[in-house]
Structure 1
Amino acid sequence: MTLRKRLTGIWLMAMALLSFGAYTTFFVAQMSAPYIVYWTLPIFQSIALVIYLWGPDKIRFKPLKLTYRLCYATSFLVIPAFVFIFMGLISQYHVNIKESIDARNIPVKDILPGDETLIFKTDKVYVFFPEYTTVDLECGKRPSKSDESITWCCGAAFQHAVQIKFSQDNIEGDHASHGEFYDSPYDRDSDGAFTFANGQFGFEFENKTEAVQKAAKAGGSGFMQLAMIKDKRNVMNFDRPRARCYRALAELNGNLCVIDSVKMMHFNEFMSELRRLGVTNAVYMDMGAGWNYSWYRCANGKVRTLFGLPVPWSHNWIVFRK
């Protein structure tokens, strides 16, 4: 056997194993990438390996020979696919925030914002109180970490389809950005609306479109997301069989905050902690791999990245500005 054939065999065996590893990691990371890509790669690599072991030189049937070449060619996609979803898996784990305040023995009524960005940590969640004077919905261009006015940035509304090119119509739910109202073709009855205008934030669960329009007329911003808690009552029936990190935009003790799970957990565990804290209102924030891209600015001005895997098809963010 020639050296080339030996190397080809080693390559195909390695890519077959790696493709199955990528397929397994896909489920663990709960990626939102096209399912068929990670389902077909192990099959293609297995076919290529079986034909190689049988002997490609023995093939006389042209369609089978073409199948082997096609499957062999897809082996060069395995490494990029594995790297992409492995990064997605890593992005599911929340960073440890050392400067957070231990709130395990603090009465819930004392979990309050201060003059600068504060983070409280319970056994299960981080409660972020970013310093701000205004809250905006940014669409299209990703907010820059060099913009020192931004104290918090994370994904906001869902997007209907994975698209590199930005379109306001692709954002699910009616929304407003810097005083401009956008009527979305994708509204859900299960959504709640978050708005910010005239220095005041609001949550609306009934007349959502009217609330966003009102914020736009006042020069503010707003968007719709899945409703979680309304007037301290659960309004979201959401079941995920696998654990992951979760995030909510919430009202706690009359103040606006962002609440993240400390680690991967089941959704009902996250909701139980929100109830324990006495969250008044809350809407869901998307936390899929890549969509959970988020960061905040510490009191010393340095940026701490929470989830650092931005994806080019993510196109709207909520930002707190001081």
Structure 2
Amino acid sequence: MNMRKRLSGMWLMSMALLSYGAYTTFFVAQMSAPYIVYWTLPVFQSVALVIYLWGPEKIKFKPLRIMYHLCYMTSFLVLPAFIFIFMGLISQYHINIPESIDATRMSVEEILPGDGTTIYRTDKVYIFFPEYKTVDMECGNRPSQSDESITWCCGAAFQHAVELGFSQDNIEGDHASHGEFYDSPYDRDADGAFVFADGKFGFEFGDKEKAVKKAAEAGGSGFMQLAMINNKKAVMNFDRPRARCYRTLAELNGHLCVIDSVKMMHFGEFMEELKRIGVTNAVYMDMGAGWNYSWYRKATGKVRTLFGLPVPWSHNWVVFRK
């Protein structure tokens, strides 16, 4: 057997094992992924490996030879699929925050902002009160951790399509950034609006476009996201069978905060905890692989990264500035 055939065999055996590893990881972690990851890649790699071990040169039936070459070609999809699943897996595990205040035995009325960025932890959620004077929606270039005015950064609105280039039209929902209003072609009835202008934040679940335009006219920012809680009433019915990490931009005890689940949980469990602690208003914040990129600035000035896997096609963020 020549070197080329040996290398082909090693490649097919490695990709077959990796494809089964990717599928097992996907299945155990209960992740969402392109359908091809469910079972087709392991099947294709198994077919290619079996035919290779039997001897592709023995094949006389032309359709079978074509099938072998097609299965062999799919082996080059295994590594990207595995990386995608690996990124998705680690993106669902929230880091531990040792400086968080234990709020498991505190009354909900005591969960309030402090002098700087303040973080509380219950059994199920982290509650972040970033220090801020303004809250902006940044579009285009990802905010830099070297900008010491930023105390919190995370993804904001959904984007309609996966695109490396940035376009305001690709952001779902009408939005405003630094006083500029952008009319999106992708509005949803299920959205609520978050706005910040004149030093005040607000949530709007009725005339959302008007609220965002008003914020822009005042030189502020705003965006639309799926509505979760309106005046302490749950307005989002999100039946997701898989456990995930979740995040919301919310109003708690009259103050603006960001709430993350401590670990993977079902969405209904997350909503129950928001209800228990008395969240007044809330909009959903996407937490998929790469989209959950987020960080905050500690009192020491150092940045603590919560989820550090940004994707190059993510192009808008909500930023708290002191």
* TM band (smaller chain): over 0.9
CA distance, structure 1, for counterparts of residue 137 and residue 212 of structure 2: 12
CA distance, structure 1, for counterparts of residue 254 and residue 120 of structure 2: 16
CA distance, structure 2, for counterparts of residue 240 and residue 309 of structure 1: 23
Query: What is the aligned partner in structure 2 of residue 47 from structure 1?
Result: 47
One-letter code aligned to 2:211: A
CA distance, structure 2, for counterparts of residue 141 and residue 150 of structure 1: 14
Contact 2:123 2:262 in 1 (8 A): yes
Q: Secondary structure, in 3 states, of the residue corresponding to 2:43?
A: helix
Q: How many Å apart are 1:2 and its aligned residue?
A: 5.3
Contact 1:195 1:212 in 2 (8 A): yes
Matches within 5 A, 1:96-245: 96-245=96-245
CA distance, structure 1, for counterparts of residue 168 and residue 24 of structure 2: 35
Query: Does 2:22 align with 1:30?
Result: no
Task: List alignment gaps of at least 5 residues for structure 1.
Answer: none
Q: Could you list the per-position Cα deviations for residues 246-273 of structure 1 after superposition, in whole angstroms to 9, with x for gaps in the alignment?
A: 0010000000000000000111111111
CA distance, structure 2, for counterparts of residue 18 and residue 152 of structure 1: 37
Q: How many Å apart are 1:31 and its aligned residue?
A: 4.4
Q: How many Å apart are 1:140 and its aligned residue?
A: 1.1
Moved more, 189-198 or 59-68: 59-68
Distance 1:146 1:29, change over 3 A: farther
CA distance, structure 2, for counterparts of residue 309 and residue 94 of structure 1: 12
Query: Does 2:251 align with 1:251?
Result: yes
Contact 1:294 1:305 in 2 (8 A): yes
Contact 1:31 1:288 in 2 (8 A): no
Q: Secondary structure, in 3 states, of the residue corresponding to 1:95?
A: coil
One-letter code aligned to 1:109: E
Give the TM-score normalised by the residue count of structure 1.
0.94
One-letter code aligned to 1:267: F
Q: How many Å apart are 1:165 and its aligned residue?
A: 1.4
Q: How many Å apart are 1:73 and its aligned residue?
A: 3.0
Query: What is the aligned partner in structure 1 of residue 279 from structure 2?
Result: 279
Number of residue-to-residue matches in the alignment: 321
Task: List alignment gaps of at least 5 residues for structure 2.
Answer: none
Aligned-residue sequence identity (percent) comes to 80
Q: Could you list the per-position Cα deviations for residues 7-48 of structure 1 after superposition, in whole angstroms to 9, with x for gaps in the alignment?
A: 53343233112112223434536346x434665422321221
Query: What is the aligned partner in structure 2 of residue 13 from structure 1?
Result: 13
Contact 1:30 1:288 in 2 (8 A): no
CA distance, structure 2, for counterparts of residue 134 and residue 222 of structure 1: 12
Q: Secondary structure, in 3 states, of the residue corresponding to 1:109?
A: helix
Q: How many Å apart are 1:91 and its aligned residue?
A: 1.2
Contact 1:157 1:224 in 2 (8 A): yes
Matches within 5 A, 1:50-61: 50-61=50-61
CA distance, structure 2, for counterparts of residue 93 and residue 305 of structure 1: 13
Q: How many Å apart are 1:166 and its aligned residue?
A: 1.3
Q: Secondary structure, in 3 states, of the residue corresponding to 2:279?
A: coil
Contact 2:157 2:225 in 1 (8 A): yes
CA distance, structure 2, for counterparts of residue 116 and residue 136 of structure 1: 18
Q: Could you list the per-position Cα deviations for residues 70-97 of structure 1 after superposition, in whole angstroms to 9, with x for gaps in the alignment?
A: 3223323322321232122011100000
One-letter code aligned to 1:127: I
CA distance, structure 2, for counterparts of residue 170 and residue 46 of structure 1: 40
Q: Secondary structure, in 3 states, of the residue corresponding to 1:280?
A: strand
CA distance, structure 1, for counterparts of residue 239 and residue 137 of structure 2: 28
Moved more, 215-224 or 34-43: 34-43
Q: How many Å apart are 1:295 and its aligned residue?
A: 0.5
